[in-house]
């Protein structure tokens, strides 16, 4: 047998135990691990050997030189972007699923696994308030979910001869992956209408309705509105119920991008997403606020027939595996619900996690993020020179330090340096974004193991850096 086709008995146990211990102690170290030039040169020089090498040597080299560097999104004080604090249970579930290596594209290939995934997706559809006709499919993440949604919307609302005049509507705060998905289905950039936002960074529905009416009058073909439940910058939720009414009045497809915020549906704060039950499709990332390993996204659709109409195919070489794909049947083949034919069992780790944690345990973990943002805001309100730009919502808060006597350009530079100082210290990961033309510091705190004291200490250290930078 060629080298590498099997592992020495007992070897995996040691590797797994070491990795669990590494993950357990991760937050004792820095939030970012940067490789030296020497390490990068060593990796580039390694090449691919003609003869294989010893397993333990390769594992040690990979841990030392390759996999250990980068942003530690699992770190309790990594608060940039939308972090990826992974449950150890998810990691174990992912490892088990990968070890069995099932092709999860069809029911025949993977009968019990598909049943488990669809049971979970049905439960999530219920949390969203979708009807019995709803179904879902797991994707690699929000980008593929938004691409899937764009295809389904186009096919449901437009005849092929009208694709060239298709128009879609997003807001200034819509995630960039939405435009990418629209580009991939052929919607030109000048047919993507960017709607303004109000003071709470929510889509302005008065402007939306006005622009749709103008496009209809111009003979174009409006077909899709992408609303957001939990924007990346501020955690804002667009007025979903009002948008749903506009879509119904103009016969448009309503897609809610809930990649981040849909997880609130499992908590006592679910009313923040009022109107989501009226959407045609909801996208949701479990590798964000449901604490799953990368990658685990979802598409939930209110009528299974829309995905089947866009993605169901019946080639002769799959005839022996065609099972459960009839129109409207609850257990459709996953490959008939998305662009992917080959797919791993992505949903099993989330199913596994919820079996261990329970829905109440998951809800408590999500709700902790609301507490963290509230503690951060409270600390900021007692910090001199701190300005709260957007108050705590959905585990996010945006703020800036604005000592007197500095111009707007100088304040932008100051807040950028504060972020850089924190990153260089290794204590926490806090990055900047832009809101209203100003550079602000943004915290997205969703780690279930981050304490109140750690959250307040992050603010105190940022304030200290701001004081030092302002004195220069």
Give one DSSP letter per residue of 27-39, joined into a string: GGS-SEEPPPHHH
154 and 164 Cβ atoms separated by less than 8 Å = no
Buried (b) or exposed (e) across 91-109, using 16+ Cβ within 10 A? bbbbeebeeeebebbbbeb
Q: Which helix (H) or strand (E) holds 148?
A: helix 142-157
d(CA 396, CA 438) in angstroms, rounded, equals 17
Residue 12 has a CB neighbour count (10 Å cut-off) of 13
Q: Could you state, in order of their start, the residue ranges of all structural domains in the chain?
A: 10-34+69-86+358-472, 103-343
CATH of 103-343, one of 3.40.50.2000, 3.40.640.10, 3.30.565.10, 3.30.2350.10: 3.40.640.10
d(CA 387, CA 440) in angstroms, rounded, equals 9
pLDDT at 2: 60
Under-50 pLDDT residues of the chain = 323-329
Locate tokens 């866009």: which residue? 310
pLDDT at 13: 78
Whether the upstream peptide bond of residue 295 has omega within 30° of 0, thus cis, is yes
What is the pairing mode between strands 70-71 and 32-33? antiparallel
Locate tokens 């504060």: which residue? 418
168 and 227 Cβ atoms separated by less than 8 Å = no
CB-count exposure of residue 132 (10 Å: 0-12, 13-18, 19+): exposed
Q: Which stretches of 101-141 are DSSP H helices?
A: 111-128
463 and 401 Cβ atoms separated by less than 8 Å = yes
d(CA 313, CA 341) in angstroms, rounded, equals 10
pLDDT at 322: 62
Q: Among 224, 226, 204, which Cα is nearest to 215's?
A: 224
Same topology, domains 10-34+69-86+358-472 and 103-343? Answer is no
Which tokens in the block code for residue 123?
């439960």
Q: Which helix (H) or strand (E) holds 399?
A: strand 396-401
pLDDT at 63: 86
Locate tokens 């439940």: which residue? 229
d(CA 351, CA 110) in angstroms, rounded, equals 15
Give residue-wise pLDDT tens across range 306-363.
Answer: 999 999 987 776 676 664 444 444 579 999 999 999 999 999 999 999 999 999 999 9
Which tokens in the block code for residue 195?
């709607």
The phi, psi pair for 87, rounded to 5°, reads: -70, 135
Q: For the packed helices 304-311 and 142-157, what is the interaxial angle rounded to 10 degrees?
A: 90
CATH numeric code, 10-34+69-86+358-472: 3.90.1150.170
Q: Work out the end-to-end distance of the chain between its first and last CA atoms, rounded to an integer number of angstroms.
A: 66
The phi, psi pair for 246, rounded to 5°, reads: -65, -45
pLDDT at 324: 44
Beta bridge partners of 171: 195
């Amino acid at each position: 047998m060629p080298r590498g086709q099997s592992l020495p008995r007992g070897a995996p146990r040691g590797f797994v135990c070491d990795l669990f211990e590494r993950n357990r102690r991760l937050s004792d170290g820095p939030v970012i691990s940067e490789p030296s030039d020497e390490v990068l040169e060593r990796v580039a020089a390694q090449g691919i050997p003609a003869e294989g090498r010893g397993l333990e040597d390769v594992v040690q080299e990979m841990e030392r030189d390759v996999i250990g560097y980068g942003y530690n999104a699992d770190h309790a004080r990594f608060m940039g972007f939308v972090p990826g604090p992974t449950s150890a249970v998810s990691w174990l579930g992912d490892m088990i699923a990968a070890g069995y290596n099932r092709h999860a594209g069809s029911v025949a290939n993977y009968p019990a696994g598909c049943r488990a995934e669809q049971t979970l997706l049905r439960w999530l559809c219920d949390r969203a308030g979708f009807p019995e006709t709803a179904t879902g499919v797991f994707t690699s993440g929000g980008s593929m979910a938004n691409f899937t949604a764009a295809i389904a919307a186009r096919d449901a609302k437009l005849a092929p001869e009208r694709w060239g005049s298709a128009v879609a509507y997003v807001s200034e705060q819509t995630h960039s992956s939405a435009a990418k998905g629209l580009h991939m289905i052929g919607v030109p950039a000048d047919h993507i209408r960017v709607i303004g936002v109000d003071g709470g960074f929510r889509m302005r529905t008065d402007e939306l309705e006005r622009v749709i009416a103008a496009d209809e009058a111009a003979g174009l073909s409006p077909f899709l509105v992408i609303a957001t439940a939990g924007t990346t910058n501020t955690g804002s939720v667009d007025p979903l119920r009002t948008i749903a009414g506009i879509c119904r009045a103009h016969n448009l497809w309503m897609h809610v991008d809930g990649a981040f915020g849909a997880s609130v549906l499992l908590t006592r704060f679910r009313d923040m997403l009022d109107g989501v039950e009226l959407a045609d499709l909801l996208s949701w990332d479990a590798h964000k606020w449901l604490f799953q390993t990368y990658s685990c996204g979802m598409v939930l659709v209110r009528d299974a027939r829309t995905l089947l109409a866009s993605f169901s195919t019946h080639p002769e070489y799959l005839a022996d595996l065609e099972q459960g794909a009839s129109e409207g049947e609850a257990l459709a083949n996953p490959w008939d619900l998305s662009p992917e034919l080959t797919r791993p069992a992505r949903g099993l780790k989330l199913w596994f996690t919820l079996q261990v944690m329970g829905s109440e345990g998951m809800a408590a973990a999500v709700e902790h993020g609301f507490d963290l943002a509230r503690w951060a805001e409270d600390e900021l309100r007692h910090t001199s020179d701190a300005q709260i730009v957007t108050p705590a919502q959905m585990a996010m808060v945006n703020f800036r330090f604005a000592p007197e006597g500095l111009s707007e350009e100088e304040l932008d530079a100051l807040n950028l340096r504060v972020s850089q100082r924190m990153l260089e210290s290794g204590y926490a990961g806090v990055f900047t974004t832009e809101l209203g033309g100003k550079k602000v510091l943004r915290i997205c705190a969703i780690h279930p193991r981050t304490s109140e004291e750690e959250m307040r200490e992050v603010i105190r250290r940022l304030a200290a850096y701001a004081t030092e930078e302002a004195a220069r």
